[in-house]
A and B are shown apart, each in its own frame.
Chain A
Amino acid sequence: DVKVTQSSRYLVKRTGEKVFLECVQDMDHENMFWYRQDPGLGLRLIYFSYDVKMKEKGDIPEGYSVSREKKERFSLILESASTNQTSMYLCASKIGGGGNEQFFGPGTRLTVL
């Protein structure tokens, strides 16, 4: 079974803090994704990565950056957390190419005070 894990299920941070969200997958997937999920808006893509050291902006990259130094790990960074970044963050991975489904992590519920 594919396993996608995220470093925290719940996280509380203060405005202005630097926040790291880690995602690890164990199936050698090339593609990895970071989404945020908000009520009434569904999942929105923040960043995705085709492969190691490669990244592409999604629909809402502002205020975020990412790092993919190893194939199995994709990190989402909030350089200076703000209250409007309070959300559920979901990581996903899939085999590269067009014919494959995404596998999701359990999510991190981030609250910024």
Chain B
Amino acid sequence: KNEVEQSPQNLTAQEGEFITINCSYSVGISALHWLQQHPGGGIVSLFMLSSGKKKHGRLIATINIQEKHSSLHITASHPRDSAVYICAVRSYTGNQFYFGTGTSLTVIP
């Protein structure tokens, strides 16, 4: 059983569409991370959340601690948003991370 579940696994959208990626987790956490991985492998951190909501440009991340659920939204999607988006949670101890299997997003012009 995976401690972190993401949905959908794959997502194709038309440019300009509003996109939502969901993440549910089953362990106690101190923070949740949304990561982006472009073809070629490099991973960058988009958000680190412990409560509420964060916004960076066209990206919005929310978390509901009681429901153990987070969402990543992309407004006005663009082909350069095409990537794999990974949800990761950090355990209470702070050093153990659990990762979702990722959502592969393709935005078509």
Interface residues, chain A, CB within 8 Å of chain B?
Answer: 9, 31, 33, 40-45, 48, 50, 88, 90, 92, 97-99, 101-107, 109
Q: Please give me the residue from chain A that is nearest to B4 by CB atom.
A: A42
Question: Assuming A42-B86, A106-B42, what are 7 further A-B pairs, CB within 8 angstroms?
Answer: A33-B97, A40-B101, A98-B93, A99-B30, A101-B33, A103-B45, A107-B43
Produce 1/0 per residue, B8-22, CB < 8 A to A. 000000000000000
Kindly state the separation between the CA atoms of A104 and B99 in the bound complex, as whole angstroms: 14
Q: Is the CB of A43 within 8 A of B90?
A: no
Question: Once the chains bind, are A107 and B42 in contact (CB under 8 Å)?
Answer: yes
Q: How far is the CA of A74 from the CA of B83 in the complex (A)?
A: 28
Known: A48-B95, A50-B95, A101-B48. A42 touches B101 (CB 8 A): yes
Partner of A106, one of B33, B40, B93: B40
Q: Which residue of B lies closest to A103 (CB)?
A: B45
Nearest neighbor of B94 in chain A, beta-carbon distance: A98
- B binding-site residues for A, Cβ under 8 Å: 2, 4, 30-31, 33, 35, 40-45, 48, 86, 88, 90, 92-97, 99-102
Which of A97, A104, A106 gathers most chain B CB within 10 Å?
A104
Given A41-B101, A42-B99, answer yes or no on A104-B42 (Cβ-Cβ < 8 Å).
yes
Given A42-B86, A42-B102, A98-B30, A31:B43 Cβ within 8 A = no
Residues of A within 8 A of B31 (CB): 99
Give Cα A31 to B35, complex, Å: 19
In the complex, the answer to whether A88 meets B95 with C-beta atoms within 8 Å is no
- Given known pairs A40-B101, A41-B101, A42-B101, the reply for A90 and B43 (CB within 8 Å) is yes
